[in-house]
Amino acid sequence: MTDRDVFLPVAAQPSVDALVEQAQRAEELGYDRAWLPESWGRNAAVTLTAVAENTEEIGIGTSIMPVYSRSPALVGMTAASLQEVSDGRFRLGVGPSGPIVIENWHGMEFGNPLKRTRETIDIVKQVLTGEEVTYDGEYFELDGFRLRQEAPDPAPRIDAAAMGPKAVELAGRFADGWHALMLTRDGLDERFDDLHRGAEMAGKDPEDVRTTLSLTCCALEDGTEARELVRQHVAFYIGGMGTYYRDNLARQGHEEVAHTVYDEWNGGDREEALAAIDDDLLDSIAVGGTPDEARDLLAEFADLDHVDSLSISFPRGASVAQILETMEALAPSATAE
């Protein structure tokens, strides 16, 4: 059975307490894990510590913690600490993010994101053993680093976020799981081949590499508003977050739509950008509508082979009330009815 996670909002929330309350509500509703992104809002480690201290059973995780904004040693220390404060409920999600975020916001050269992600995962795994870390890589050289406390037992699992073929292959080869996002159902099938190839290169059973699919979802009594919030979110990522998501959609066979959305968005015609995303494409990459419509759409994603968990995320324009309404409508108990 596919697990059901919740992706705490990437959009600004009124307070850390609001995020804690959303995680508590997710726990009450039977969600398996609460993921928190780290982008330009609150520090993920601090916020997840508050979540861990105020919940009892729900898993917690970072999706994603960029590999450019912390050193690998610090990522390992953070993972060990979050595993400790959560009593073993933490899962680490890492990834490169994109050039706009890394170069414009963090002032770092984006460089070779695949190599940097691989080296980060390698080093974090060493850190989490509690043994002295020696590493000689292209980006990082470490000698003598060692945790001062006991190593976490069990060590938290490490997932990698990825969209392109080589990045997904890397997740299968070096990580314990893959975080998929902005992929159509057909696009997912293609990437599973890459994931499985990577796992086999590492001598792993591909079924042991956990796949978490992040889905932008909105389920409201006003189904039209829900769909428009989802459409706006998808258009923003394709058009407003550099070429990363545009190229990802084009790679999945939607090149004309991807470039139209990008061009219209950056040309200032947001309405035309939204209009380029028709209902069929929207329903293949996200979930929006009335509660009943959204549950039916979600079921189609839950039936996909090789997807271990669906992570319910929310449009960037959704209010706190709309987030909670969606969370309740798509909770495991609600969708099982």
Give a yes or no: residue 262 inside a domain. Answer: yes
Residues 256 and 227 in one domain: yes
Which are the contacts of 127, defined by CB distance < 8 A and separation ≥ 6?
72, 73, 75, 76, 77, 79, 80, 133, 145, 147
What CATH number has the domain bearing residue 100? Answer: 3.20.20.30
220 neighbors 326 (Cβ within 8 angstroms): yes
Pair of tokens at residue 246? 């545009």
CA diameter of the chain: 58
pLDDT-based confidence at 103, cuts 50/70/90?
confident
53 neighbors 26 (Cβ within 8 angstroms): no
Distances (CA, A) of 70 to 43, 94, 108, 196: 12, 11, 11, 29
Give a yes or no: residue 9 inside a domain. Answer: yes
Residues 44 and 66 in one domain: yes
Residues 189 and 269 in one domain: no
Pair of tokens at residue 153? 């037992």
Q: Over the stretch 289-302, which tens digit does the pLDDT of each residue have? A: 999 999 999 999 99
Residues 117 and 247 in one domain: no
Give a yes or no: residue 302 inside a domain. Answer: no
Which are the contacts of 18, defined by CB distance < 8 A and separation ≥ 6?
320
Give how many domains the chain has, as a whole number: 2
Distances (CA, A) of 139 to 65, 110, 118, 182, 240: 18, 12, 10, 29, 29
pLDDT of 9 reads: 86
Residue-range definition of the domain harbouring residue 284: 222-289
Give a yes or no: residue 300 inside a domain. Answer: no
Distances (CA, A) of 59 to 78, 148, 180: 16, 25, 19
pLDDT-based confidence at 102, cuts 50/70/90?
confident
33 neighbors 62 (Cβ within 8 angstroms): no
CA-CA distance, 135 to 106, in Å (whole number)? 25
Instruction: Answer yes or no: is pLDDT of 59 > 60.
Output: yes
CA-CA distance, 178 to 170, in Å (whole number)? 9
Instruction: Answer yes or no: is pLDDT of 337 > 60.
Output: no
Residues 20 and 73 in one domain: yes
Residues 276 and 320 in one domain: no
Residues 209 and 226 in one domain: no
Residues 34 and 124 in one domain: yes
Terminal-residue alpha carbon distance, the chain: 15
Give a yes or no: residue 297 inside a domain. Answer: no
CA-CA distance, 278 to 173, in Å (whole number)? 36
Which are the contacts of 11, defined by CB distance < 8 A and separation ≥ 6?
314, 315, 316, 317, 318
pLDDT of 242 reads: 85
Q: Over the stretch 139-149, which tens digit does the pLDDT of each residue have? A: 999 999 999 99
Residues 211 and 235 in one domain: no
Residues 104 and 170 in one domain: yes
Q: Over the stretch 177-229, which tens digit does the pLDDT of each residue have? A: 999 999 999 999 999 999 999 999 999 999 999 999 999 999 999 999 999 99
Residues 84 and 189 in one domain: yes
pLDDT-based confidence at 157, cuts 50/70/90?
very high
Residues 94 and 240 in one domain: no
pLDDT of 183 reads: 96
Instruction: Answer yes or no: is pLDDT of 336 > 70.
Output: no
Q: Of 112, 118, 101, 191, whose CA–CA distance to 160 is shortest?
A: 118
Q: Of 286, 305, 313, 302, whose CA–CA distance to 335 is shortest?
A: 302
Give a yes or no: residue 303 inside a domain. Answer: no
